[in-house]
Chain A
Amino acid sequence: MRMPDPDQLAIERRPALLDGLRRIVPGEAVVVDRDALSAYDCDALSVYRQRPLAAVLPETTAQVAQILRLCRDLAVKVVPRGGGTGLSGGALPVADGLLLAMGRFNKILSIDLDNRTARVQPGVTNLAISKAVEANGFYYAPDPSSQIACTIGGNVSENSGGVHCLKYGMTTNNVLGLELVTIDGEILRFGGNFMEQAGFDMVGLLVGAEGLLGVVTEVTVRLLPKPETQRAALIGFPSNRAAADAVAAIIAAGIVPAAIEMMDRAAIQVTEDFVHAGYPLTVEALLIVELDGPSVEVDHLLERVERIARAAGSQTLALSDSEAERLTYWAGRKAAFPAVGRISRDYIVVDGSIPRGKMPDVLDDIAAMSVRHGLRVVNVFHAGDGNLHPLILFDASLPGQLPAAEAFAADILRRCVEVGGVLTGEHGVGIEKRDLMLAQFSEVDLLQQRRLKDAFDPLRLFNPGKVFPLLHRCIDGGQMMVSGGNLAFADLPRF
């Protein structure tokens, strides 16, 4: 992965940078040691690594403001980092820049159950928010698979999704307010403990901005009452097409399930071998359809889902009758990535998003590409909102396989765009899909986005080399890559 050429002058200013940082934060919060810095040299897209000039761990908004002013004055680039669990390389350091690690911003500042909001620091983990309010019957809805470790600040930067965003939306639909520190060290507050903000929708712009516009130092999230019941259906089909048709029919019937997940035959096989969830091995495709709400509604809708599935030609159908059973249905789905890791030394996770109705055709196309590129593929994804996650299996130790896998991934993403979809549904552009952006956007589209970036960051110091294609296009990509079996955060669920 090509990154912008390092600025030698900035590297030469490292002593001044370290000196300035030590005046702002205690000495131990400035990380300069080579070994210690290696903890920050990648995020969960771990094939790409780069040691930063230094890392700094501020604890207060005022410190962040001073650090950013220092960086501006020294013209040193800044890469913000949350939990480091991102899948698109958004937190990859740059050789001539400072890594700003936000992990010490780990406090829940206030919880307002009457107004159903929580004000938290960005380093608080996604799951910690739900844990803090669960005894009161509330939760924070977006649930990325890494929620035990990913931080709300990272979720805001990437506009993270999760299996339940079909019904409850992405991060952007669940964040009400942000505090932002600009490159000039100005502390701005947008939105807050209410539904609409004054002025332009800066919260909407900043969520998903991938750290290109400023540093988020506080987040106000919306809390939801926990649903009374959750039940799931596990439904097998004789073909991907039949399963995809059932998904379309469920949506068309006016039902909005909490989640609809799909696995193809290869995915069913590898996960069943791994976790023995009791998935039927005779079917070509499997859906998990989860409904939540009052039990009478859930039961009523499950009946309708059952009828729709049978009309679409389902071969097997089971409905969860207990919480244990529901979790068993999910066990295989949630173990799919590590299960693939057991049968393939390396794999790439693609994140294209397409209109739901195109799923059967695109799955056929992916199967044909698999033959053409000579690489196996496993499909396990968020079918309800058309967010594909093909896993491309390869062995980087074999000559030619890595480039073939990268080319395969790029082919899939171009196909997604051709059928009306987009390059990334929930993982972000980061470095990995950066050079495919012109497959989706025109030069003018991107120029307008760059001008907006410059309105916040005229010196272009925030997170360089991310999102926008470099001037010299040299590589196609578009994937989360697992190399040599060394999945970063190997213990995190990924689905």
Chain B
Amino acid sequence: MRVIDADSEAAVADAISGGIPLEIIGSGSKLCLGRPVSADLQLSLAGLTGITLFEPNELVMSVRAATRLADIEALLATEGQTLAFEPPDLSRLLGVAAGGQTLGGIVASNLSGPRRAVAGGVRDHVLGMRAVNGRGEIFRAGGRVVKNVTGFDLCKLLTGSYGTLAVFTEVTIKLLPAAETEVTLALADLGPQAAVTVMCRAMGSSAGISGAAWLPDQRGGSLTALRLEGFAPSVEARKQRLLGILGGTREAQLWSETASRVWWRDLRDVAPLAGDSERAIWKISLAATQAPALLESLKTLGDARALLDWGGALMWLSLPCQSDAQASSLRRLLPAGAHAMLVKAPAAVRAGVPVFHPLPPAQAMLEERVRHSFDPHLVLNPGRRAAAPPGEGEC
């Protein structure tokens, strides 16, 4: 495919102004997320890198879109700071090269890790953006201050839009102090219902849980992990409180800081479900208390493997990859309000089924109008979020 390299905002605007459908690419680590784009031309932002503002005392940073997340995290670590939404590295899961992902890619796909359940997601941490819409117009949204209600909050709308509304050229993001230490309490071999009950109780307590996940193993056992982060004396006190809350359940394992970090990094990256190229991976958002019944009904799909994060409100699911990734059978099983995204499957499968959860018609039409307000000629990542309706442009 032909590639336009844009290493400046003006070059991005120039390329888009051509009006030719473009596949937007940063490092390429997430090209296989979403439907395959219908475009013959790629707009590469790989040269659009660099940190343009870093004020640790203000807990704020601005970076050009294709700045590598690893570089950002390394710099933040020197100041004891972090991106509180705990961005995952899905490279193992997706089977792509590790270490390449960019902040722009994380924002475009709104991917948050285990701490999302209490600290908010990517969308809660984006303070401002510079971006180019589908008309090739450069615009700003938001700002660099934490408290801002001036005009529409375009940053939230653009976060998670998979490059279909505008191309970010620079993102300003809120930083937070990294936790001084962490420990994890884990309970072995709880079934889904018992695990979700424990996670709900823990997260509804004042123990200040910052991660709650359930991970079954191949032998029929499981781990239910509850993470505590913060200042050392606080973590110790909350650990005692949490043990009190868990009293009556079986004995908890205590994982030290190092063990806790490793386990949660693997969970964040969905590593337990990685490594089998023959399987489809789904990400399901639901109410935590709906998860046990869904897990039960998933048995009808055959060899379903799942894990729960966000206290049960996020289910990662691995299914044998049939031609439609079992999309319609799976979605039929979902409880009201829940939605499922097909995260990993061969391109031919992703081209043939709705990768993103189908929306009710009125909402889908509103989304189309919103999209047209940014990209009337459907230049930006056409087809990425949904197959084009008949008669729509090149798709």
By a beta-carbon cutoff of 8 Å, the part of chain A in contact with chain B is: 112-117, 137-138, 158-159, 161, 165, 169-170, 172-173, 182, 186, 188-190, 192-205, 207-209, 212, 225-228, 248, 251-252, 254-256, 293-297, 300-301, 353-357, 382, 385-387, 420-429, 433, 437, 440-442, 444-449, 451-456, 467
CA distance A114 to B137 in the complex (A): 46
**B141 contacts which chain A residues (CB < 8 A)?**
445
CB B297 to nearest CB in A, in angstroms, measures: 18
Closest to B241 in A: A294
- Taking CB atoms and an 8 Å cut-off, the chain B residues in 312-358 that contact chain A are 313-314, 337-339, 356-357
- Apart from A422-B143, A441-B151, A453-B152, 16 more pairs, CB < 8 Å: A172-B153, A172-B156, A199-B363, A199-B367, A200-B161, A201-B160, A252-B57, A294-B241, A297-B233, A355-B55, A422-B150, A429-B151, A440-B143, A441-B150, A444-B138, A467-B151
Asked whether A448 lies within 8 Å of B121 as measured between CB atoms, the reply is no
**A115 contacts which chain B residues (CB < 8 A)?**
200, 287-289, 313
**B159 contacts which chain A residues (CB < 8 A)?**
201, 204
Asked whether B149 lies within 8 Å of A195 as measured between CB atoms, the reply is no
Asked whether B237 lies within 8 Å of A296 as measured between CB atoms, the reply is yes
**A-B CB proximity, top 8 nearest:** A204-B156, A254-B177, A297-B234, A425-B147, A198-B339, A455-B369, A451-B373, A296-B237
Any A CB within 8 A of the CB of B263: no
Asked whether B288 lies within 8 Å of A357 as measured between CB atoms, the reply is no
**A169 contacts which chain B residues (CB < 8 A)?**
120, 124
Asked whether A300 lies within 8 Å of B234 as measured between CB atoms, the reply is yes
26 contacts between A and B (CB under 8 A): A113-B204, A114-B289, A115-B313, A159-B153, A169-B124, A170-B147, A172-B124, A188-B363, A192-B287, A195-B117, A201-B123, A201-B156, A205-B153, A205-B154, A209-B153, A225-B203, A225-B204, A251-B58, A254-B180, A293-B208, A295-B237, A420-B144, A422-B143, A429-B149, A444-B138, A453-B152
Asked whether A445 lies within 8 Å of B363 as measured between CB atoms, the reply is no
**B interface, by DSSP: helix, strand, loop or mixed?**
mixed
Asked whether A159 lies within 8 Å of B149 as measured between CB atoms, the reply is yes
By a beta-carbon cutoff of 8 Å, the part of chain B in contact with chain A is: 55-60, 80-81, 110, 116-117, 120-121, 123-124, 133, 137-141, 143-157, 159-161, 165, 176-178, 180, 200, 203-206, 208, 230-231, 233-234, 236-238, 241, 285-289, 310, 313-314, 337-339, 356-357, 359-360, 362-364, 366-367, 369-370, 372-374
Known: A113-B204, A115-B289, A357-B55. A198 touches B156 (CB 8 A): no
Known: A198-B359, A248-B57, A254-B80. A165 touches B147 (CB 8 A): yes
CB B339 to nearest CB in A, in angstroms, measures: 4
Asked whether A194 lies within 8 Å of B337 as measured between CB atoms, the reply is yes
Known: A193-B287, A198-B359, A297-B231. A421 touches B56 (CB 8 A): no
Asked whether B145 lies within 8 Å of A353 as measured between CB atoms, the reply is yes
**B356 contacts which chain A residues (CB < 8 A)?**
198-199
Closest to A113 in B: B204
**B150 contacts which chain A residues (CB < 8 A)?**
422-424, 429, 433, 437, 440-441
Give the residue of A137, A188, A293, A353 whose beta carbon is less than 8 angstroms from that of B362.
A188
Give the residue of B59, B153, B286 whose beta carbon is less than 8 angstroms from that of A208.
B153
**B124 contacts which chain A residues (CB < 8 A)?**
169, 172-173
Give the residue of B80, B138, B147 whose beta carbon is less than 8 angstroms from that of A353.
B147
**B60 contacts which chain A residues (CB < 8 A)?**
355
CA distance A467 to B151 in the complex (A): 7
Known: A169-B124, A300-B234. A420 touches B366 (CB 8 A): no
Give the residue of B149, B289, B313, B370 whose beta carbon is less than 8 angstroms from that of A452.
B370
Known: A194-B287, A294-B241, A444-B137. A209 touches B363 (CB 8 A): no
CB B358 to nearest CB in A, in angstroms, measures: 8
Closest to A356 in B: B58
CB B240 to nearest CB in A, in angstroms, measures: 10
Asked whether A456 lies within 8 Å of B123 as measured between CB atoms, the reply is no
CA distance A226 to B151 in the complex (A): 32
**B289 contacts which chain A residues (CB < 8 A)?**
112, 114-115
Asked whether A196 lies within 8 Å of B121 as measured between CB atoms, the reply is yes
**B137 contacts which chain A residues (CB < 8 A)?**
444, 447-448
CA distance A200 to B144 in the complex (A): 23
CA distance A301 to B232 in the complex (A): 11
Asked whether A200 lies within 8 Å of B151 as measured between CB atoms, the reply is no
**B121 contacts which chain A residues (CB < 8 A)?**
195-196
CA distance A170 to B123 in the complex (A): 13
CA distance A203 to B357 in the complex (A): 17
CB A422 to nearest CB in B, in angstroms, measures: 5
Asked whether A205 lies within 8 Å of B152 as measured between CB atoms, the reply is yes
CA distance A297 to B149 in the complex (A): 32
Known: A354-B145, A420-B144, A455-B369. A255 touches B177 (CB 8 A): yes
CA distance A385 to B356 in the complex (A): 36
Closest to A382 in B: B147
Asked whether A200 lies within 8 Å of B154 as measured between CB atoms, the reply is no
**A248 contacts which chain B residues (CB < 8 A)?**
57
Known: A195-B117, A205-B157. A444 touches B139 (CB 8 A): yes
**A382 contacts which chain B residues (CB < 8 A)?**
147
Closest to A188 in B: B363
CB B16 to nearest CB in A, in angstroms, measures: 14
Asked whether B58 lies within 8 Å of A225 as measured between CB atoms, the reply is no
Asked whether A301 lies within 8 Å of B146 as measured between CB atoms, the reply is no
**A212 contacts which chain B residues (CB < 8 A)?**
152
CA distance A202 to B42 in the complex (A): 28
CA distance A201 to B370 in the complex (A): 11
Asked whether B143 lies within 8 Å of A209 as measured between CB atoms, the reply is no
**A296 contacts which chain B residues (CB < 8 A)?**
233-234, 236-237
**A138 contacts which chain B residues (CB < 8 A)?**
204
CB B171 to nearest CB in A, in angstroms, measures: 15
Closest to A448 in B: B139
CA distance A444 to B313 in the complex (A): 39
Asked whether B140 lies within 8 Å of A445 as measured between CB atoms, the reply is yes
CB A86 to nearest CB in B, in angstroms, measures: 11
Closest to B357 in A: A198
**B369 contacts which chain A residues (CB < 8 A)?**
455-456
Give the residue of B149, B180, B230 whose beta carbon is less than 8 angstroms from that of A158.
B149
Asked whether A424 lies within 8 Å of B205 as measured between CB atoms, the reply is no
Known: A204-B159, A429-B151, A452-B152. A442 touches B140 (CB 8 A): yes
CA distance A356 to B56 in the complex (A): 12
Asked whether B370 lies within 8 Å of A200 as measured between CB atoms, the reply is yes
Asked whether A294 lies within 8 Å of B206 as measured between CB atoms, the reply is yes
**A422 contacts which chain B residues (CB < 8 A)?**
143, 145, 148, 150
**B357 contacts which chain A residues (CB < 8 A)?**
198-199
**A441 contacts which chain B residues (CB < 8 A)?**
140, 150-151
Closest to B81 in A: A254
**B153 contacts which chain A residues (CB < 8 A)?**
159, 172, 204-205, 207-209
**B241 contacts which chain A residues (CB < 8 A)?**
294
Asked whether A425 lies within 8 Å of B148 as measured between CB atoms, the reply is yes
Give the residue of A195, A426, A445, A455 whose beta carbon is less than 8 angstroms from that of B313.
A195
